[in-house]
Amino acid sequence: MISTKKLITYITFFVLIQSGLHAQVNNIAPNIIPAVHQWQAGNGSFIISAATLFKFKPSVSTQKTVAIFLEDMAALRGKERQSGLQAKGGKNDIIIKIKPQPHLTQLQKESYHLEIKPDKIIIKAMDEAGVFYATRTLLQLIEKSADKQSIPCYIISDIPAYPFRGFMLDVGRKFFPVSQLKDYICRMSWYKMNQLQLHLNDQAFHGQHYAAFRIQSETYPQLTSTDGFYTQQEIRELIQYAADRSINIIPEIDAPAHAMSILDIAPELKNEKLQDGQLDVLNPKTTVIMEKIYDEFVPLFPSPYFHIGTDEYRFKKATTTEDRKAFAAGFCNYINHFNRYIGAKGKNVMIWSGYNEMPGFTPIDSNIMIDMWLGNNAKEEIKAGHQVVQSTDGWLYIVPGTNYYGVDNKFLYEKWAPNDFGPNQQLNPGEPDLLGAKLHVWNDLGPMGFTYHETADEVAVALPVMAEKLWGNKMSPTFDEFIKRVDGLKNVPQVNDTRLLDVSKNSDPIINVDFKEHSLPDAVNKHLIKSLTGYESKSVLALDGHDFVRLNLPADELEQPWTLSFRVKKTDARDTTTVLFESPYGTIFLNLKDKKSGKTGLGIARTVGYKEYAGEGEDFYRQVFNSIVPVNKWTQITLTGGHNNCTLYIDGKETESVEKQFVCPLKTIGSSCGHLSALAFLTNIKVFGRILNRDEIMALYLNAKLLVD
């Protein structure tokens, strides 16, 4: 592999000299993420307008790139897309020149040279990928301009440091619709990431029997998940959508562990000596069934890589040394068999690391790519002839909703390097068998985990961090400085994965209902508004255990950050579980019983389809606070929800805070799905799209106390 430094020198010498480099006008670096490698500022700006034409040699792929550029630019500018697909033009043109060469490396294919002058822009590249990345640079320059049409003059030469710049999304445990996958593809392309790995089958952890296989199978129709799957045509279209944006989709069908969905249709592949969800590698039927599965899905993906998983194969229930060695040998033979079987179909096979921890180790084929989630033997893997990808779990795993793993973006940006796998495992810079690195989202909690928007929020900063470190030019001295650059480019075109109830961070509440001056959104249930005895000028919402009120908002819940505040008078002394606020993904309870201690208190929980999770690990999904709302007394309840934090205030004072993340449920006040609504009066309901400070929360209490007490 040619080093990045040598390639930059080559491009700079031969391309910049040909273009005629003028004296530098200023020292303002272009704010591009990932930062460009070589730049020179020029005089003035190029004004892109309806008169701007593209000039390029007729090519379907170039025409697609131009079309995507125009669509994305229109999205940034909020205007109709201009045509710009002419083959001829005069002044104010964008000229694309592709000079293909034989035997290009991936890095060379993705390199580009960009000349921005007041009267024209010239894009030079050796492959369509380089042209596409040049358009990403132009779009980011447009996004930073005040008028969304002035592009400052620069001469830029750019090339990535690593050919593999990846992101993995676990859709096996939690289904993401195609629209969400396209959002991730657009985010990746904005930051010049190029490998999207889809983890297509798995089972949820923490005691749930939930397993899914996400692609429609014609060979084994019963294998297809019933609660969300992709048709094969949808996969083909998604692959093309990604390819048009210079992204390769890597499929992962994980076996012989993480294979409960396969065992559900072939229980004969179980073995009592193995953990749940694991195929018996010593059973010949396992090979037969897996060959049929791979026969169906390997041809579906044009990717040069095919990931077969193979992580965490455990046989702790095998008590004899002979059994353990037999399973270990069978496991490594399984890896080698499918490496050759899938390799014969033209693929480079990837597996997760960890296979070498087996007793009586059997060597695996040296042409297998190792996805290093356990990085303690990276040097040894390379010495054995393997190419590796940096995927170290402690640094690069996001597991939404749990209290383990998590990405430290500040550490990644300021200290981490792709060639650092941990103590005594630092590879030499420029190691040719280190292909790159990969960020991961694992949905261990299954459907009960974070919403799509919460997950996207977890990725929003980590992805550009990874992109800049893998492109190889860390421009900002600190993470804080980098975040300022990210904030200036966070408006990614064609992406709609932000929370639906998005609001500016101001003092105005999203909801402000006192049932007197402010109207109730649900006109049907206005009969629930009652006048208070002795306070005839004031009204409250009276819930009697069965009634509910729809809030009729654009979304059913609000993801963090949020504040919910309301005044409540409980009218029933029983500790029966009752609902105050509800949505498909969350519930706030006036009474909720802790299943371990038996205590009852104010509670909040994550739900799926209004259903609470019951089983091992339920603490991830629910919180019963120590506070009990008194009977026949007005009480001010305020809850705030932040990143991995939820705090309860009673009468303006903080009483409890937990390291858990919840949504604010806003579909109904009371329960609309058969649960018991609270028996209580409510008024002064306010919801904010931010976390109020302590003084603001106390002010809410004091103001509400003046109105109703």
**C-alpha 617: how far from its chain's center?**
23
Residue type, 630: P
Supply 135's token pair: 């358009």
Separation of alpha carbons 437 and 385, rounded Å: 18
CB 373 within 8 A of CB 391: yes
Separation of alpha carbons 3 and 520, rounded Å: 65
How many of the other CB atoms lie within 10 Å of CB of 328?
21
Q: Provide the β-strand partners of residue 377.
A: none
Residue 690, C-beta contacts closer than 8 angstroms, at least 6 positions apart? 503, 505, 561, 562, 563
- Which residue pairs, CB below 8 angstroms and at least 24 apart, start in 378-383? 378/421, 378/425, 378/427, 378/434, 379/425, 379/427, 380/356, 381/353, 382/427, 382/431, 382/433, 382/434
How many of the other CB atoms lie within 10 Å of CB of 20?
8
Supply 61's token pair: 């792929």
Separation of alpha carbons 342 and 307, rounded Å: 10
Please state whether beta strands 164-170 and 150-158 pair in parallel, antiparallel, or not at all (unpaired): unpaired
With 0-12 CB in 10 A as exposed, 13-18 as middle and 19+ as buried, what is 226?
Answer: exposed
Nearest to residue 675, comparing CAs of 594, 598, 584, 599?
Answer: 584
Residue type, 20: G
Catalytic residue among 291, 312, 414, 656: 312
Helical axes 479-487 vs 452-471, angle rounded to 10°: 120
Strands (E), 326-382: 348-352, 369-372
H or E element that contains 612: strand 611-612
H or E element that contains 154: strand 150-158
312 is catalytic: yes
Please list the active-site residues. 312
